[in-house]
């Protein structure tokens, strides 16, 4: 992101009433980042804090100071606590975190309140605490059921921790999502099929299947650069992806976003805000927010976040507001990830620009190639298009001041 530019919608004071601004300008969703983890996995590029458990209380104080900048509590329909591992906090500090976020982000009726957890982090007491504070969805970082693949990913849990954790969660919270990773070095089609099968046996409401990426600077990336491990071929990764589509759709899951599958009625409403390119609040080290057309990113540096937040200074180190045309292109690129794709009428209402005036000829060309389906009212990726989604987006926006995705 760069500095704010002209053509942006100015931010109004955060204590202004949110209604009746539309969802793409004023948030109905909030994300709060909790960086603490027992271990930093080799593939992880998120803002995490390992070996700093003594700073947990200080972090919650800094988080409260940052949230005070909202000016007044902001009611939301979805709230997501991610990390890091929020449930790694001890019981008393987890309760403090839940009280703090509920104070600043009151949950509206029919809310979705998600929290990320790792297998083995939760016991019955913590699950009860979560449920008592309104958490009604848990996203569990399984990644694999295979011990050898867990070792490559540097995950610390054992395969048998997963069913035990799911059982404990379901005592109070029936909505359980499982995350799986494919494309792990050394992974075979048999291992991936087994991961999918074991995940389905636990009867989750939601499954996220992500292709492994070697993020620059991570230990896994360094191992790849040193020739200590080798990424799967594109064909092997594609075989994993299509296997997930086949197996999960056959099991009754909706493939509602490039990497996400849900049983009917259990789509992640919070993530759908991101994929619609609508507004959201964000707080905590490394967190992003998108309010009134302005996208900001908090510092990822732990000490810098403490200093800024406790001093009452802005915690963001980057701020950007795109001109209308660039914002419209970004919206199209993001919305194309969804199964329903881009609704032409809704797109015009959100961006005040016409989709076909921007991209009509390219949409037609990609539809002729069988990569996009143009249904008149909307445009969406075909199954074949999903398999090469990055290439489709690249072709669609080439030479148009390509949007960030």
Model confidence pLDDT, tens digit, residues 220-272: 888 888 888 888 899 999 999 999 999 999 999 999 999 999 999 999 999 99
What's the pLDDT band for 5 if we cut at 50, 70, 90? very low
| pLDDT at 164 > cutoff 80 | yes
| pLDDT at 215 > cutoff 90 | no
Spatial separation of the C-alpha atoms in residues 169 and 349, rounded to whole Å? 40
Instruction: Detail the DSSP E strand segments found in 199-341.
Output: 206-211, 254-257, 260-262, 281-283, 288-291, 294-298, 316-320
> Which of the residue ranges 16-20, 102-106, 169-173, 280-284 would you say has the lowest mean pLDDT?
16-20
Spatial separation of the C-alpha atoms in residues 220 and 353, rounded to whole Å? 42
Spatial separation of the C-alpha atoms in residues 269 and 395, rounded to whole Å? 29
What's the pLDDT band for 126 if we cut at 50, 70, 90? very high
Q: Which domains does the chain have, with CATH numbers?
A: 29-275 (3.20.20.70), 324-397 (1.10.10.920)
Spatial separation of the C-alpha atoms in residues 157 and 109, rounded to whole Å? 36
Per-residue pLDDT of 293-303, as tens digits, reads: 999 999 999 99
Model pTM above 0.75? yes
Q: What is the per-residue pLDDT for 42?
A: 79
Q: What is the per-residue pLDDT for 380?
A: 98
For residue 320, what are the β-bridge partners?
Answer: 295
> Which of the residue ranges 17-26, 154-163, 254-263 would you say has the lowest mean pLDDT?
17-26
DSSP state of 87: G
């Amino acid at each position: 992101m760069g500095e704010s530019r002209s053509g942006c919608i100015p931010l109004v004071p955060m204590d202004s009433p949110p209604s009746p601004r539309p969802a793409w300008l004023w948030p109905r969703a909030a994300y709060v980042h909790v960086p603490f983890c027992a271990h930093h996995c080799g593939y992880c590029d998120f803002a995490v804090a390992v070996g700093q458990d003594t700073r947990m209380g200080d972090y919650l104080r800094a988080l409260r100071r940052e949230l005070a900048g909202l000016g007044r509590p902001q009611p939301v329909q979805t709230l997501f606590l991610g990390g890091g591992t929020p449930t790694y906090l001890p019981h008393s500090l987890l309760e403090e975190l839940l009280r703090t976020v509920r104070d600043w982000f009151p949950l509206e009726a029919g809310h979705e309140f998600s929290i990320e957890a790792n297998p083995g982090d939760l016991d019955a007491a913590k699950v009860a605490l979560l449920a008592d504070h309104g958490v009604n969805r848990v996203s569990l970082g399984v990644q694999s059921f295979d011990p050898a693949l867990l070792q490559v990913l540097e995950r610390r849990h054992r395969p048998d921790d997963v069913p035990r954790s799911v059982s404990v969660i379901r005592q109070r919270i029936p909505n359980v999502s499982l995350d799986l990773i494919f494309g792990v070095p050394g992974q075979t089609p048999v291992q991936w099929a087994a991961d999918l099968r074991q995940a389905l046996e636990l009867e989750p409401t939601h499954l996220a299947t992500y292709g492994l990426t070697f993020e620059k600077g991570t230990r896994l990336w360094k191992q790849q650069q040193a020739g200590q491990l080798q990424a799967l071929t594109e064909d092997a990764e594609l075989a994993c992806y299509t296997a997930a589509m086949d197996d999960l759709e056959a099991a009754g899951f909706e493939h509602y976003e490039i990497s996400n599958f849900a049983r009917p009625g259990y789509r992640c409403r919070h993530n759908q805000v991101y994929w619609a390119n609508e507004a959201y609040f964000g707080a905590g080290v490394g967190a992003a927010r998108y309010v009134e057309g302005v996208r900001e990113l908090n510092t990822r540096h732990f000490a810098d976040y403490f200093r800024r937040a406790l001093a009452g200074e802005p915690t963001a180190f980057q701020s950007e507001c795109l001109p209308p045309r660039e914002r419209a292109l970004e919206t199209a690129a993001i919305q194309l990830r969804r199964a329903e794709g881009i609704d032409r009428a809704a797109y015009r209402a959100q961006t005040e620009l016409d989709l076909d005036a921007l991209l009509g000829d390219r949409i037609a060309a990609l539809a002729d190639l069988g990569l996009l389906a143009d249904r008149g009212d909307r445009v969406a990726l075909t199954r074949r298009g999903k398999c090469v989604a990055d290439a489709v987006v690249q072709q669609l926006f080439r030479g148009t001041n390509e949007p960030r995705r």
